[in-house]
Amino acid sequence: MPSTRRPSYTPGPRGTGSGPASGRPSGGQPDVISASKSDSAASPAAGAAHSGATALGAGSPGRGNVLSFPEPKAKRRRRIVLSTVAVIAVVVAGILAAAVYSPWLAVRTVSVEGTRLLSTDQVTAALAPLQGKPLPQVSDEDVRALLQPLVQVKAVTSQARPPSTLQVHVIERVPVALLKQGASFQLVDPDGVQLGTTADPATVKLPVIDSGGGALPQELFHAITGVLGALPPDVLARLSDASAKSVDAVELRLVDGQTIVWGNAGEKELKARVLAALLKAPADPKNPVRTYDVSAPRHPVTRQ
């Protein structure tokens, strides 16, 4: 029989992959599988980390590169808004400063309204120091201080009318009586402020307070002027004179010769309404009213 020769088999080291058991031809160098290759294939994340580490270490030895991250949108938007607001504030402040100090807005014309006792020239002359002053710098206090020497002025308001007009509204004191002082008559308001003088009381439709040639006591004067200040203008214009024997005994007289018993200064507004209603009542020619007594306004009395 012919002999059958089997190929010789020499077992190599375990795990070398040589020989028929490995399925590879024998003879030659055994194949070597790279551990790094298999590790990378087995773990992609590990590979990425490895490449990242390589990038960080690509610089000079011992120093790593700093990674910059993009600014968040919300933070960038907030920074832009704050910058815009700051720029607008600076621009507005500049405009306001220019307006406050600009000669283009300087006072050149003063418009006056509300005067009766005073003339427009008197008011504009008193406000002359405001000429050339920028309108934004003019306040009601400035106007009031300049008009304070004019006793007829009770209150005042002002308004700027760019580019160069200052409008002034004057509220004057209201005269309620003529206080006889010798041969002259002084216009006085309810507070006793003297607003002017006249030599002919017929030119002013106001009642006359006759002090009797002497000084009228202050309490009597204020009692009379307080009553006169409560009367409506149409009733006040019908009065001839006013007097008081005491603060509780104020009397008024109409130009028709009728007498008004007022009493004290209490309930002035109610007494004024009652008196106005009595004066509007139809008159009886046969029995004309001689006296109106409103000292008790809830129970008024008329006497023929």
CA dihedral 207, 210, 215, 217 (to 10 degrees): -60
DSSP for 151-208? TTEEEEEEEEETTTEEEEEEEEPPP-EEEEETTEEEEE-TT--EEEEES-GGGS-S-E
**CA distance readout (Å), 154 to 118, 160, 169, 190:** 12, 21, 11, 12
Query: How far apart are the C-alpha atoms of 123 and 128, rounded to whole Å?
Result: 9
Q: Tell me how crowded residue 83 is: count the other CB atoms within 10 A of its CB.
A: 10
| Domains of the chain, earliest start first | 104-172 (3.10.20.310), 177-303 (3.40.50)
pLDDT of residue 126: 94
pLDDT in tens, the chain (304 residues): 444 445 544 444 444 444 444 444 444 444 444 444 444 444 444 444 444 444 444 444 445 566 666 777 787 778 778 878 877 876 676 565 555 556 677 889 999 999 988 999 999 999 999 998 888 888 999 999 999 999 999 999 999 888 889 999 999 998 888 888 777 888 888 888 888 888 888 888 888 887 665 667 888 888 888 899 889 888 888 999 888 888 899 999 999 899 999 998 889 999 999 999 999 988 888 888 899 999 999 999 999 8
pLDDT tens-place string over residues 257-302: 999 999 988 899 999 999 999 999 888 888 888 999 999 999 999 9
**Alpha-carbon separation of residue 122 from 144, 149, 153, 229, 285 (angstroms):** 14, 11, 11, 26, 49
Q: Which pLDDT value is given to residue 48?
A: 40
* Token output for 166: 């200052």
Rounded CA-CA distance 184/197 in Å is 7
